[in-house]
């Protein structure tokens, strides 16, 4: 029976965790801080739970230099739950901002009371019907699912797929066309799309944005001068530097680079979190034919309750905090740039061998958008016997979790933070040996 040290796991998620964190967790599960009870047993309302939340937030803020005008939320329902939460919360915020403008401008004419309310509603209804647009950049399976969920919630007429990368790659994902080909909703007189959404790293398809899209930059650097950008960073979270100020919302499931399955982390600009009493009312949204968020996905409610509106799995938050605290201690003033150097080095090592033996291996995505986190390739042109032989040989060497996603097949080596440099080197040696044996 192999020991943990004999195995290197490259699964796409749940992903490996640092052994040191798991060793600490085994103790905390039995007796947390010598209290005689385990970490899974403490109340989420306890002082200990609040300390864990505060410490985890502090570590993430340190790593990513999260500005003070952002809130860090811990939620449940995974990244897929945030596909819905993004729509609920951003649309409600859009309606409320438009309502305030309409009320202010229409009141100038002297209209008041019930007639003002009717006029405001009529204007809002027209603006929702004609102007509400949510822009999606579809570059892989997850952004596609997010766009489909948005269409399900608010109706397809409100969704603008500004980019479908399959159209420039023979019906398959694997490229990101030039920004000049994107069809973003125009911004006229300061009014543009309610949001622009993209998935920074597509886990299934091995596609990663090399940098923040230039066309989404705010001309002045102000949050009021440019589109509200939402990014799903589930599979490259805390693996490279991110300028948080460029985004309205960043979210990600924890089970890739941050922790174990159970929590989702969202970094939300506070201007998107007004008190619930100032948000578009439930009745107004319904009258406008728009969806109302379940309370457990309502960001203002979660923020107001310190992420503890319902029973949060504190053990999962603690795991994430331990992982991030380890990065803070390891990289010091480099912060997340230190981890980025390691991630880039591991990816370069593996891609280098794949490119060296291009007669045996075919990297799936275009070179300009290759993911550092999910390295997708085919063996022997995708022949089943070749790929099965590759996977069998890898398993014998303790290299596990390399089978591609069921929807696309092939091989996928997920190069998350907890995959050691030693593991990447061992995979590279196997790639060499297998290729030479063909």
pLDDT tens by residue, 285-318: 999 999 999 999 999 999 999 999 999 999 999 9
60 to 63, 71, 157, 319, 334: CA distances (angstroms): 5, 11, 37, 13, 14
pLDDT > 70 fraction of the chain, expressed in percent and rounded: 99
Distance CA 35, CA 52 (A): 15
Question: What is the reported pLDDT for 223?
Answer: 75
Contact predicate 402/354, CB 8 Å: no
**C-alpha to C-alpha distance for 264 and 242, rounded to whole angstroms:** 18
Find the mean pLDDT for residues 118-142: 97
Round the CA-based radius of gyration of the chain to a whole number and report it. Answer: 23
Query: What integer is the mean pLDDT of 390-417?
Result: 97
**Distance in angstroms (rounded) separating the CA atoms of residues 289 and 278:** 19
The closest of 126, 149, 119 to 136, measured between CA atoms, is 149
pTM given for the model: 0.96
* Alpha-carbon separation of residue 207 from 33, 127, 182, 292 (angstroms): 42, 36, 17, 33
How confident is the model over 53-70, as a mean pLDDT? 98
For the stretch 340-380, pLDDT in tens is 999 999 999 999 999 999 999 999 999 999 999 999 999 99
| Domains, the chain, ordered by start | 59-316 (3.40.640.10), 335-436 (3.90.1150.10)
Tell whether the model's pLDDT for residue 60 goes beyond 80: yes
pLDDT band at 86 (very low <50, low <70, confident <90, very high): very high
Does 222 have pLDDT greater than 90?
no
Query: Which tens digits make up the pLDDT trace of 143-185?
Result: 999 999 999 999 999 999 999 999 999 999 999 999 999 999 9
Do 189 and 225 touch, CB atoms closer than 8 A?
A: no
pLDDT recorded at residue 281: 84
Residue 171, sorted as left (phi over 0), alpha (psi -120 to 50) or beta, turns out to be left
Q: How far apart are CA 265 and CA 196, in angstroms?
A: 19
Work out the pLDDT band at 189, boundaries 50, 70, 90.
confident
What number is the average pLDDT over the span 330-349?
A: 97
Mean pLDDT of 408-430: 97
How far, in Å, CA of 231 to CA of 258, rounded?
Answer: 17
- What pLDDT is recorded for position 367? 97
Q: Which two tokens stand for residue 390?
A: 């590759």
Question: What whole-number distance in Å separates Cα of residue 56 and Cα of residue 181?
Answer: 40
In angstroms, rounded to a whole number, what is the distance separating the alpha carbons of residues 347 and 413? 10
The proportion of the chain whose per-residue pLDDT surpasses 90, expressed as a percent, equals: 91
pLDDT averaged over every residue in the chain: 95
Instruction: Collect all residues with Cβ–Cβ distance below 8 Å to 136 and sequence separation of at least 6.
Output: 143, 146, 147, 150, 159, 160, 161, 162, 163, 196, 197, 198
For residues 395 and 388, what is the distance between their CA atoms, to the nearest angstrom? Answer: 11
Tokens of 335: 């912060």
Q: How far apart are CA 176 and CA 163, in angstroms?
A: 9
Quick: pLDDT tens for 12-35.
999 999 999 999 999 999 999 999
Gap between the Cα atoms of 168 and 319, Å rounded: 41
């Amino acid at each position: 029976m192999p020991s943990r040290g004999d195995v290197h796991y490259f699964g796409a998620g749940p992903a490996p965790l640092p052994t040191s964190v798991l060793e600490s967790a085994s103790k905390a599960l039995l007796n947390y801080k010598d209290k005689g009870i385990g970490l899974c047993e403490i109340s989420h309302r306890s002082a200990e739970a609040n300390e864990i939340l505060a410490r985890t937030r502090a570590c993430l803020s340190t790593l990513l230099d999260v500005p003070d005008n952002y809130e860090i939320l811990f939620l449940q329902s995974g990244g897929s739950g945030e596909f819905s939460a993004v729509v609920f919360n951003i649309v409600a915020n859009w309606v409320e901002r438009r309502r305030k403008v309409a009320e202010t401008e229409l009141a100038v004419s002297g209209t008041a009371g019930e007639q003002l309310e009717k006029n405001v509603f009529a204007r809002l209804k027209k603006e929702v019907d004609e102007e509400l647009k949510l822009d999606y950049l579809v570059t892989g399976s997850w952004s596609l699912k997010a766009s489909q969920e948005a269409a399900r919630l608010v109706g397809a007429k409100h969704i603008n797929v500004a980019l479908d990368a399959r159209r420039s790659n023979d019906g398959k994902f694997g490229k990101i066309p030039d920004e000049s080909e994107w069809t973003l909703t125009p911004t006229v007189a300061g009014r543009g799309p309610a949001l622009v959404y993209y998935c920074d790293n597509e886990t299934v398809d091995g596609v990663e944005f090399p940098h923040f899209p230039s066309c989404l930059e705010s001309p002045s650097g102000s949050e009021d001068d440019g589109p509200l950008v939402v990014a799903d960073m589930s599979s490259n979270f805390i693996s490279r530097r991110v300028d948080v100020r460029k985004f309205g919302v960043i979210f990600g499931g924890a089970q890739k680079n941050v922790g174990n399955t159970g929590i989702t982390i969202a970094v939300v600009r506070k201007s998107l979190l007004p008190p619930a009493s100032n948000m578009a009312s439930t009745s107004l949204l319904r009258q406008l034919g728009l969806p109302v968020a379940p309370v457990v996905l309502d960001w203002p409610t979660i923020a107001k309750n310190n992420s503890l509106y319902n029973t949060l799995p504190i053990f999962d938050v603690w795991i994430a905090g331990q992982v991030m605290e380890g990065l803070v201690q390891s990289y010091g003033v480099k912060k997340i740039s230190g981890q980025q150097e390691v991630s880039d080095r591991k990816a370069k090592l593996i891609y280098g061998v794949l490119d060296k033996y291009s007669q045996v291996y075919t990297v799936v995505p275009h070179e300009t958008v290759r993911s550092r986190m999910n390295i997708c390739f085919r063996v022997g042109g995708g022949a089943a016997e070749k790929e099965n032989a590759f996977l069998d040989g890898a398993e014998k060497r303790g290299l596990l979790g390399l089978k591609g996603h069921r929807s696309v097949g092939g091989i996928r080596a997920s190069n998350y933070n907890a995959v050691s440099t030693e593991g990447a080197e061992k995979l590279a040696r196997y790639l060499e040996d297998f290729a030479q044996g063909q």
